[in-house]
Amino acid sequence: MKDGYGDFIRDSKGVAIEARQYHFKDKNGSTVIIQEHSLGHAKATPLHGAEPHFNVRPPDNLNTGDVPGTHGHYNF
């Protein structure tokens, strides 16, 4: 998983964090990707990405992209 600058996000031991990605087609046949961020983000504020969450991304911008009509984070 990479941050907004293209650098790998690492855990406290320096190991790169991996995220699951689920690929789907929307009703128009366009690909959307749901990323599972089970660890949340250490630098985020509560209720804005600090908790485990999903992100919805377009296939051409998996690091910071968004899909119109979706929220930034879907906490779980």
Write down the domain spans for the chain: 20-62
Task: Report long-range pairs for 9-18 (Cβ below 8 Å, ≥24 apart).
Answer: 11/39
Q: How far apart are CA 47 and CA 62, in angstroms?
A: 21
Note the Cα 45 to chain centre separation in Å. 16
Q: What is the pLDDT of residues 43-61, one digit of tens each?
A: 666 666 668 889 999 999 9
Residue with tokens 């961020």: 37
Please give the share of the chain, as a percent, with pLDDT higher than 70.
84
Dmax (CA) for the chain in angstroms is 43
